[in-house]
Amino acid sequence: MGFLSALPGAIALGLIWGLMAIGVYITYKVLDFADLTVDGSICTGGAVCAVLVTAGVNVWVAMLAALLAGAAAGLLTGVFHTLMGIPAILSGILTQLILWSVNLKIMGQANLSVSARTYGVVISQLEAGWAILILFGFVSVIIGLLYWFFGTELGCGIRATGNNPNMSRAQGINVGLNKIIGLMISNALVALAGALLVQYQGFADINMGRGAIVIGLAAVIIGEALVNLICRNFAVRLAGVALGGIIYYIVYQLVIELGMDTDLLKMLSALVVAIFLAIPYWKKRYFSGFHRKKAAKEPPAPPPEGGETAAQEPPAAAPLQGGQSDV
Amino acid sequence: MKRIKSIALAACMLTAGAISAVGLSACSTADYTVGILQLVEHSALDAATEGFRDALQARMDAAGKTVKFDYQNAQNETAACSTIANKFARGYDLILANATPALQACANSTTSVPILGTSVTLYSSALGLKDFDDNDPAATTGINVSGTSDLAPLADQAQMILDLFPEAEKVGLLYCTAESNSDYQVAQVAEYLAEKGVASERYSFTDSNDISAVAMRAASESDVIYIPTDNTAASNSALIDGICRPAGVPVIAGEEGICSGCGVATLSISYYNLGVKTGGMAADILLDGKKVSEMPVQKITKEECSYLYNAEICEDLGITPPQGYKAIGE
């Protein structure tokens, strides 16, 4: 009974982290860039939103400002990587460190209250049912916008950059610029999730981004595993990532309801991510030989090696050609 | 592969269902269920939780009632606070929120279950209450939150610096800017020292990696160093000791834990007693039907604090233990 009544809260938190995970998906899956900026930018979004809301600024304006602050963080990582030649992971870590100081300066203190009882916020854990409805709207609109964007010429360029940077460069795509734009969009979404999280939990704290990337990756991977079975449409996959966030938080809530030792939680979530990351590798390592033999016997079957990669990025293929013909 | 995946998924769900069924059937039949949300494992916070449990259990035993404690630790992950608070918000009789983010998450999860905070310094800023005066001993929050504040007797601590080191010209204030309560304490101490005509300077670090560099500068530029009740400083007190003791600079600490690591003396509140006080409030709510919104937030008074000194560091620095101070650990 206790668990069922706690479900709305878990779903709402899952939607917020699902939105954050959609940001992670854009860098990790679409752009093929392991971006660790998110641990800092989720807090930046939260800090900007908290400071503006407590200063009496309209909450929607505050969320827009958070979005822009996140984009700026992504820009910084992109500049580190493309203009200064720093490896992807290190650029993200550097920005994350910079953001720790920046976030402290934005808030002026380590912790800031944005209680729903004092300030007019959009969502709050006090009204989890409403929060789910509003967040559902948020996630739907954002999935719609991203679906549209990644179908445009620019969006296709970003996807091509992630798929094969050398080929993209040969096709006249500005790979560096596309990486920067992808990082900006991703971190803007993460910061927006941070702004929503701050309102939902009622406070911003300098530590709130700690471990965010693991939750984001977990949601991405759970979502991929679920949705890949059903449909490979880009919008459906984004929805799957949001669903992954919800499942992560329902399981998390269940684990806490069962009174498991919370000391072990971080290790468990990291291990779950590690195992899910290993599955595609194992599949390739131990099952691809079987596919090859089978394919040799049946020539008309789709090419197995390409089949694996094409299955990963099928939506890129079709609109990409349209985009290229315009170039 | 698809089939294997879906079978595995179904198996996972079945297991989860089975575990949850076991978990639900194991529900206790105690008269009261109290949820304890502690931010992180830390000696001060642990002591407060222990004091709370001991005090409430004693009152329950005396009244012939039973109480079940559900202790959850958020591992310093503020996101976990909301999930745990979400559990406590339903079906629990009372919530103890230990440390500021824990209190904030709980206060934003329920308007009906009584919430008691502890190890929280300022309730006004923690809860965003504009009308709440932290210095008013009778101040109530007006919502379903009350509790105890760990605000140290700052003026007395500042006076202690002046009493022990009357010839000190400059006091260094060493603290972490990523701690929610340190900034306030440092500002209060600086103000008090300024009133008495003693100069002070802030030396702040943002995380444990910067401590040694900042502490070295503080030690070279100050006659005495003051450290407030700062968790990061507490965890790194051995490092600070390794810098300040060789430099011959005495440290006055905000609480006993820091003092035992690197301080000369302290006027310390006891987090165990703070927890005991909170446990008493919980018993008043559960057993005597007091309303949480009408209970003032309680503070530790100077009389409940103890003047302590660190014998080993005092001896090394050639400081005679002051009159009326007790050695730590005695």
* A199 has a chain B CB within 8 A of its CB: no
Distance CA(B106)–CA(A126), nearest Å, equals: 10
Q: Distance from B73 to chain A by nearest Cα, in Å? A: 6
- Can you give the pLDDT of all 330 residues of chain B as single tens digits? 454 555 455 555 545 544 444 444 445 578 999 999 999 888 889 999 999 999 999 999 999 999 999 999 998 888 889 999 999 998 899 999 999 999 999 999 999 999 999 999 999 999 988 889 988 889 999 999 999 999 888 999 999 999 999 999 999 999 999 887 899 999 999 999 999 999 999 999 988 888 999 999 999 999 999 999 888 898 899 999 999 999 999 999 998 889 999 999 999 988 999 999 999 999 999 999 999 999 999 988 888 888 999 999 999 999 998 888 999 887
CA distance B329 to B308: 9
Contact residues, chain B, for A117 at CB < 8 Å: 107, 111, 127-128, 143
The predicted pLDDT at position B28 comes to 57
Mean pLDDT, chain B, integer:
89
Residues 165 through 224 of chain B touching chain A, CB cutoff 8 Å: 177-180, 183, 206-207
Residues 6+ apart with CB under 8 A from A257: A2, A3, A6, B20, B23, B87
Identify the sign of the CA torsion B16, B19, B24, B27: negative
Check residue B216 and give its pLDDT: 93
B154-268+305-327 carries CATH number 3.40.640.10: no
Task: Select from B121, B120, B128, B117 the least CA-distant residue to B95.
Answer: B117
Judging by DSSP bridges, how do beta strands B326-327 and B306-309 pair with one another?
parallel
Do B101 and A111 make contact, defined as CB atoms within 8 angstroms?
A: yes
**How far is residue A109 from each of residues A185, A228, B100, B316, measured CA to CA in Å?**
28, 44, 13, 36
| Contact predicate B239/B261, CB 8 Å | no
| b (16+ CB within 10 A) / e for B185-199 | bbebbbebbeeeebe
Distance from CA of A199 to the nearest CA of B (A): 9
Number of H helices, E strands in chain B: 13, 13
Which fold would CATH assign to domain B29-149+271-299? Rossmann fold (3.40.50)
Q: What is the pLDDT of residue B64?
A: 95
Kindly determine whether residue A117 and residue B5, on different chains, have CB atoms separated by under 8 Å. no
Q: Is B33 on the interface with A (CB under 8 A)?
A: no
Domain A2-326 adopts which CATH fold?
Answer: ABC transporter involved in vitamin B12 uptake, BtuC (1.10.3470)
> Which residues are CB-neighbours of A321 under 8 A, at least 6 positions away?
none
Who among B6, B127, B178 is closest to A229 (CB)?
B6
Q: Please tell me the distance from the alpha carbon of residue A124 to that of residue A136, in angstroms, as a whole number.
A: 14
- Matching CATH topology for B29-149+271-299 and B154-268+305-327? yes
Interface A–B counts its CB contacts (< 8 A) at: 166
Nearest to A201 among B72, B76, B105 (CB): B105
The domains of chain A are located at 2-326
Q: Nearest-5° angle of CA A254, CA A264, CA A194? A: 65
Report the DSSP beta bridge partners of residue B202: B173
pLDDT given for residue A306 in this prediction: 40
What is the length of chain A? Answer: 327
3-state secondary structure of B250: coil
Collapsed DSSP state (helix, strand, coil) of residue B286:
helix
Which chain A residue has the Cα nearest residue B113? A126
If you ran DSSP here, which 8-state letter would residue B176 be given? E
**Number of residues assigned to chain B:** 330
Nearest CA in chain A to B21: A258
CB contact under 8 A, A117 and B128: yes
Query: Is A49 in contact with A204 (CB distance < 8 Å)?
Result: yes
CB neighbourhood size of A108 (10 A): 11
Q: Are B194 and B165 in contact (CB under 8 A)?
A: no
Per the CB < 8 A criterion, the answer to whether A39 and A210 are in contact is yes
pLDDT at A96: 95
* pLDDT per position as a tens digit, A97-132: 999 999 999 999 899 999 888 888 999 999 999 999
CB contact under 8 A, A101 and B206: yes
Q: Does the beta carbon of B28 lie under 8 angstroms from any beta carbon of chain A? A: no
Q: Give the whole-angstrom CA distance, residue A99 versus residue A93.
A: 10
Domain ranges of chain B: 29-149+271-299, 154-268+305-327
Q: What is the pLDDT of residues A161-186, one digit of tens each?
A: 999 999 999 999 999 999 999 999 99
Interface of A with B in 248-287 (CB under 8 A): 249, 251-254, 256-259, 262-263, 265-266, 283, 287
B-chain CB neighbours of A230 within 8 Å are: none
Strands B265-268 vs B326-327: parallel, antiparallel or unpaired? unpaired
Rounded Cα–Cα distance for residues B226 and B240 (Å):
12
Tell me the three-class secondary structure of chain A, residue by residue.
Answer: CHHHHHHHHHHHHHHHHHHHHHHHHHHHHHCCCCCCCHHHHHHHHHHHHHHHHHCCCCHHHHHHHHHHHHHHHHHHHHHHHHCCCCCHHHHHHHHHHHHHHHHHHHHCCCEEECCCCCCCCCCCHHHHHHHHHHHHHHHHHHHHHHHHHCCCHHHHHHHHHHHCHHHHHHCCCCHHHHHHHHHHHHHHHHHHHHHHHHHHHCEEECCCCCCHHHHHHHHHHHHHHHHCCCCCCHHHHHHHHHHHHHHHHHHHHHHHHCCCCHHHHHHHHHHHHHHHHHHHHHHHHHHHHHHHHHHHHCCCCCCHHHHHHHHHCHHHHHHHHHHHHHC
Enumerate residue ranges in chain A where pLDDT < 50. 298-327
pTM of the model: 0.84
Distances (CA, A) of A218 to A241, B115, B148: 9, 33, 38
pLDDT at residue B24 in the model: 46
